[in-house]
Structure 1
Amino acid sequence: MADNADRAAVTIQQSLEATLARRATLATQAANDECVDCGYPIPAARREAAPWATTCIECQGIREMRGKHVHQS
């Protein structure tokens, strides 16, 4: 019978594996030099500053504005 520590260890391991899988997916997407929203190239300065970025600055700004708008409702 598993105790609380065993269940916690399993939960932590599953969370870690899910996080690593998401990061691998983002890294693969970021390998593309194109924005996933508009398809235009992501500027080199943005790729250097945020290598995980999958959107250009303009599209990221739109995403953030939409997110703020949703939270204010």
Structure 2
Amino acid sequence: MAGGWARDGAEHEQMDATVNDALERVRSSLPKGDSAEFCDECGNAIPEARRIAVLGVQHCIGCQNELEREAKAIELFNRRGSKDSQLR
């Protein structure tokens, strides 16, 4: 039920759009192409087992963990509206 100037279903559209944006961000960050032999961040060798398991890998495990931790801190911010507006 929408209130004020919002039409019915606006809250669900906003939540769907937020989820779709997150999915698109994740899909665009998936590795593509050939795996690197050396990490783009630190220059250490990437183990062959990792290069085979994760096609297109560009970072060692340590650097990948740090990049994911930084990305997670950013994604906690809702760019489409305040939490209150989604719960009304």
- TM class, shorter-chain normalised? 0.5 to 0.7
Report the counterpart of residue 54 of structure 2 in structure 1. Answer: 50
Give distance in 1, aligned partners of 2:60 and 2:37: 9
**Post-superposition offset of 1:37:** 0.5
Question: Which is higher, the Rg of structure 1 or of structure 2?
Answer: 2
The SS at the match of 2:59 is coil
Q: Which has the higher helix share?
A: 1
Identity level (%): 33
Name the structure 1 match of 2:44: 40
Residue 40 of structure 1: how far off its partner (Å): 0.2
Mark the runs of 5 or more structure 2 residues left unpaired by the alignment: 1-31, 78-88
Rounded Cα–Cα distance in structure 1 between residues aligned with 2:39 and 2:55: 12
The structure, 1 or 2, with the larger RCO (C-alpha pairs under 8 Å, 6+ apart) is: 2
Residues 25-51 of structure 1: CA distance to partner in whole angstroms, max 9, x if unpaired?
x42xx2x31000100000111111012
For the aligned residue pairs, the C-alpha RMSD in angstroms reads 1.9
Give the alignment partner of residue 68 of structure 1, picking from 50, 72, 75. Answer: 72
**Structure 1 unpaired stretches of 5+:** 1-22
Whole-angstrom CA distance in 2 between matches of 1:62 and 1:55: 10
Using structure 1 for the length normalisation, give the TM-score: 0.56
Q: Residue 53 of structure 1 aligns to a residue in which SS?
A: coil
